[in-house]
Amino acid sequence: MVPIAGSAYTYAYATLGQLVAWIIGFSLLFEYGVSAAPVAQQFSAAFQNVLRMAGISLPAWAQTSHFIARGAWWDVSQWDFAHSQYDVVGAAFVLLLSALLAVGIRETATVNNTFVVLKILALVVFVIAAIPLFHPQNLVPFIPLGWGTLTPFSGGNGSGIIPAAALVFFSYIGFDAATTTAEECRNPQRDVPVGVIGALLIGTVIYCVTAVMLVGVVPWQRVDENQALAAAVAPLHNAFVNWAITVGVMAGTTSVALASLLGQTRIFYVMARDKMLPPGVAKVNPRFKTPVLMTMITGFGAAVLTLIVPLVVLLDLVNIGTLSAFAIVCAGVLYLRYRRPDLPRAFRVPFVPLFPILGIFSSAFLAVFGLTTLTWERFVISLAIGLVIYFAYGFRKSRPERELIGVTSD
């Protein structure tokens, strides 16, 4: 219905107005901009494993991100740069991908498609290799830690299905990323729904099969957090399987990081085009036909996060932004369906209002009961800063609500 770039931001702008659009755009900053960092850290772990197999080890301070803040996290005077650790490989990886994105979308798409194929082939290799090591008794009990504690802002006390679901929710960014490139599709009304739903179905099957096989091989208490698949099939002592999985992990993390960085740059591009951000952000390089400046600024920010912020903190920030954005999109579907039921729709969400209501409820439920008070504090403080920027610049400079779909918000 809104076949231009910008994902949920553009949809919110067209249906719910500028202020809501700004809020969701700022939430997408956590969803896309921050999400490249934890994925880059996973790539770094896999790459360093390859280096160790070749007899090369990085200095201890350059292997992982563990920034030390001895007091409150916002108290700069308590930051200990000298004794902190930095993920140098992950940061360099993000900057390299940003440069690739700056070169052009066609080149990026070709590289990304290659990596996706390698990732899927590696997962197929893992599933086949894991069959002789599979022990069904590892799946009993099927929910060993229960659902988690239903205490608001406690993160489920760190165990159970609810905090796990909140933590893994960032994987849905990949499905949403397809919507950020609507302007670059040949037929967005058809291509975007097919791409999103097709990826969701295929990804769900692959994810579930891989997870069941992994826990069937290694009891859940002993799964290696840094290299789960490779460690699970290590007893086979099969060099081909080990290398296939390692290459697949690096290819998979590369494709995800590319999608995240691409999505963030396109959202910033559209926000700047709407004058919610300075117009210079939307400037397209005449040679590469991409917003080079915004791409590199985004990459630099993600690289800094990769360098110093621990993985768990990053995932919490990504998930609260993603859950917030999804809830607002569901509200937009409800609003538009009843405000303008006559508009032509190439794809119609089924079972309205049930599906949008369930989407709002489930997203809010995971955000409240699956994430911690500290995560909410960081999000609220960041959002407050974002609103200051909006009222200082975007509110005065931006266009009136667009007549993209024949709806002007009240």
Question: What pLDDT does residue 76 have?
Answer: 63
Residue 206, domain CATH: 1.20.1740.10
Question: What pLDDT does residue 408 have?
Answer: 45
Instruction: Flag whether 401 is in a domain.
Output: no
Q: Structurally, how many domains does the chain consist of?
A: 1
Question: What pLDDT does residue 348 have?
Answer: 86
Give CA–CA dist 364/318, Å, rounded.
15
Question: What pLDDT does residue 407 have?
Answer: 47
3-class DSSP state of 94: helix
Per-position pLDDT tens, the chain of length 410: 766 666 778 778 877 888 888 888 887 777 777 888 888 988 998 888 889 888 998 998 888 887 776 666 566 666 676 778 899 999 999 999 998 888 876 666 777 788 888 989 999 999 999 999 999 999 999 999 988 888 898 888 888 999 999 988 877 777 777 776 676 678 888 888 888 888 889 888 999 999 999 999 999 999 987 778 988 999 998 989 988 998 898 888 888 888 888 878 878 888 888 888 888 777 888 887 778 888 888 899 899 989 988 877 887 888 888 898 889 889 888 988 888 888 888 888 889 999 999 999 999 999 999 999 988 988 888 888 888 988 888 888 776 555 555 544 44
Q: Name the CA radius of gyration of the chain, rounded.
A: 22
Question: What pLDDT does residue 351 have?
Answer: 93
Instruction: Flag whether 26 is in a domain.
Output: no
Indicate the residue type of 82: A
Question: What pLDDT does residue 154 have?
Answer: 86
- Which of 170, 213, 176, 173 is closest to 192 using CA atoms? 176
Question: What pLDDT does residue 106 have?
Answer: 66
Instruction: Flag whether 234 is in a domain.
Output: yes
Instruction: Flag whether 364 is in a domain.
Output: no
Q: Characterize 175-197 residue by residue with b for buried, 16 or more Cβ atoms within 10 angstroms of its Cβ, and e for exposed.
A: bbbbbbbbeebeebbebbbebbe
Instruction: Flag whether 406 is in a domain.
Output: no
If phi over 0 gives left and psi between -120 and 50 gives alpha, with beta otherwise, what is residue 134? beta
Spatial contact of 132 and 145, defined as CB atoms under 8 Å apart:
no
Q: What residue numbers bound the domain in which 131 lies?
A: 32-315
Tokens of 132: 């002789």
Instruction: Flag whether 324 is in a domain.
Output: no
Instruction: Flag whether 18 is in a domain.
Output: no
Spatial contact of 320 and 8, defined as CB atoms under 8 Å apart:
no
Instruction: Flag whether 71 is in a domain.
Output: yes
